[in-house]
Structure 1
């Protein structure tokens, strides 16, 4: 009976995801990259996972794309992959954690194994990571607790759940009910709740350890990472926090569509192609 209940809850979560992935036409036409098939799951994003790719002197650092909770290595990442590849980078993308539902600590170990595989294949000394939602958060566990500081050059989080979401971790009966429902089928969802033991430990002390460059991109219309500023990390020389609407006031990008948005991709490219994190004075196409 317990297994049946958990299976039913997982089916419900997948159904909710399917609904979310029907990207509104207005959002796509209002700043999302052309040619993105937001509703098609599976396979590799354009230009990614070429294991014969050789980094160049100009682009010595491969880029790993990290999907969010309930995502996969392709969906919502096509525009990013295509654009990063066009700038001369070797691009890789992985599936992890049973579509990102599993314990984030285990997913971070999986990402570390994948990172080492990329480094062996390319001969590079470090990788950069671009992650959406949990994909912007989870690599921080790798960096802080799994000796990943020497493996990562840039970490770019797009609507990252760095300090969690009040949707799951808020101090109210609805948030508590949501947390109780998803705890079984989606351990990572509860770990991303505001104030969770996982996030408390992750954010204790230095939020941006190592010589990694940290760029966080948020959107005011985020309906998952609430409030959107919980995606920010402590400001410093190697940290840049940006909200999309501060740069492009008319942008309607929300949690699902933000990785598709042209200004988001421009900010990512700025972070990857310069020393340090993205510039606070970056001028993306709006």
Structure 2
């Protein structure tokens, strides 16, 4: 028994060591040299890094140490500034975790001066595959986390930035049913903005796979393997039907959707777009209309420097800057 315990401790140390190595490499390769931020001067914010190794390194780190925070995130002593008074809460996508999903966005937003927080939800501790739970359950976890951020920072509101499920159904459920907004008094909303990268707002056909499992009545059996979030995100699911019945938006919230025409997961990509209701604003962006050479798809859009600049502008529209477009590759980003 003692040999097994020693072996487990050694294995744990090896996992922690490799996670630290991955984190260090990702930070070195993604953030760049210290002088780069100041080189942009005071007139324009820094441009996010472009590195095709960022996503693979973050994926490795997220698998080895799934409870780790991405670089720049979860400093619980951070206090918002006058320039950036709202903390940013990053909400990862299905079958991912915070470290895996936010290897570029978290350090970039931190570099811009935001208090950045990245939640893990919808999964068991130690399991790298998260955001698989029933969406109302995950939304309650987001509610608890946002309250914790507000209490720690002293802020009155947060901005949510999410990918896939984390930018779509789960935060929308939280906004409507779990206290994220106050429709009668929108100024009391806990959330100011929701920015979704390839969000699963109106469900997906999953390039026909979801349509097939729905027609064959297989969504529940498949969800036993892939998690309840699979069925919840199919077109026509109970979660989708419930949310769509009340409209897409909540009063007082600013919504931004950033989509790619090459999305292979949330299909068709037009299902991601929102229609504004009373008291809300919506900006639907197809990234190829901004950067025609952008080849990002569903996964890599979270590691797309073009998309990161659009997120920056959505968080601070009063100081929006033209996007410095560059090539972003499928799967790898850039």
TM range (shorter): 0.7 to 0.9
2:307 to 228, 240, 264: 264
Which residue matches 1:238? 281
Who wins on radius of gyration, i.e. which is larger?
Answer: 2
Which residue matches 1:120? 151
Gaps of at least 5 residues in structure 1 are 1-27
Count of aligned residue pairs for this structure pair: 254
Q: Deviations over 1:232-258 (max 9, x none)?
A: 000476100011111111111011101
SS class of match (1:74): helix
SS class of match (1:156): strand
Tell me the CA shift for residue 83 of structure 1: 1.0
Contact (CA 8 Å) 2:80, 2:155: kept in 1 or not? yes
1:165 to 184, 204, 225: 204
The answer to whether 1:87 aligns with 2:119 is no
- Runs ≥4 residues deviating over 3 A: 168-178, 281-284
Query: So what's the TM-score if we normalise by structure 1?
Result: 0.82
Which residue matches 1:207? 248
Which residue matches 1:148? 180
The answer to whether 1:51 aligns with 2:90 is no
SS class of match (1:153): strand
RMSD between aligned residues = 2.3
Which residue matches 2:37? none
Tell me the CA shift for residue 76 of structure 1: 2.6
Q: Which has the higher contact order (CA 8 A, sep 6+)?
A: 1
2:132 to 101, 123, 132: 101
Q: Give the Cα–Cα distance (whole angstroms) in 2 for the partners of residues 271 and 120 of structure 1.
A: 24
Q: Point out the more displaced range, 118-127 or 177-186.
A: 177-186
Contact (CA 8 Å) 1:169, 1:195: kept in 2 or not? no
Contact (CA 8 Å) 1:129, 1:156: kept in 2 or not? yes
Q: Give the Cα–Cα distance (whole angstroms) in 1 for the partners of residues 196 and 86 of structure 2.
A: 17
Contact (CA 8 Å) 1:32, 1:260: kept in 2 or not? no
Query: So what's the TM-score if we normalise by structure 2?
Result: 0.71
Normalized per residue, which structure has more helix? Answer: 2
